[in-house]
Amino acid sequence: MLFKSAAHPGKSVRLAYCMNLHAAETLPELLENMQRITLPLRERLAKDREFGVGMYLPAVLAHELANHPAKLAQLKRFLDEHALDPFTFNAFPFGGFQSDGLKERVFEPTWWERERADFTRDVARVASRLVGGTSEDRHISISTHTGAHSSRVPQNERDDRIRACFAAWRSLCERRTRAYLRGLHMLSVILRTTALTHSFSL
């Protein structure tokens, strides 16, 4: 869906219904939730039109979809059949989105732990295959966190941790990762720390 305002003629904002509102840990749960909640909402708000969805894929599910073509094809088939447009992806919480204590562990793993880059790479692989073959002017976003919560990084370790974050971000630009992103015009990842802002495109 596109939101337009008379105060800004010629401009629009894409809107999406985000899956973290009914987060699923497995593919059957994800499909069931979309069937039960997302599709009726689409009927009310965008009947006979494309409906944007923000995909939340926890690490376990992202890894499963990235490594099982048949399961990923099942998800893509569902999205295509129901005109659901997955143009934005949430790779922030590692899992257990609606479980107790999420706020305390939402920055785990950090960006200097390999699991964070692996999770984000899996989400990127899924994103590329779900939207692959579409027009070249598509912009697909993946949200993540800032590296770590500042309260958990001692001041004397801060510079080393920032360098470790940069190393992890650069790993996403490896050649094999680029191969997973064919079909996307651009994937932008914006990451911020208190001291710096870094942006790159694959």
**Percentage with pLDDT > 70 across the chain:** 67
**Calpha distance 168→30 (Å, rounded):** 29
**Cβ–Cβ under 8 Å, residues 50 and 83:** yes
Tens digit of pLDDT for each residue in 87-135?
889 888 888 766 666 666 677 788 777 888 889 889 988 998 898 654 4
CA separation (Å) from 82 to 41, 111, 144, 169, 172? 12, 35, 27, 34, 31
**Mode of pairing for the β-strands spanning 84-90 and 139-143:** parallel
The mean pLDDT value for 133-157 works out to 68
Give residue 104's Cα distance to chain centre: 21
Enter the pTM of the model: 0.75
Query: pLDDT by residue (tens digit) across 1-11?
Result: 677 777 888 87
Q: 33: which residues sit within 8 A by CB, 6+ positions away? A: 19, 22, 24
In this predicted structure, the answer to whether residue 147 has a pLDDT above a threshold of 80 is no
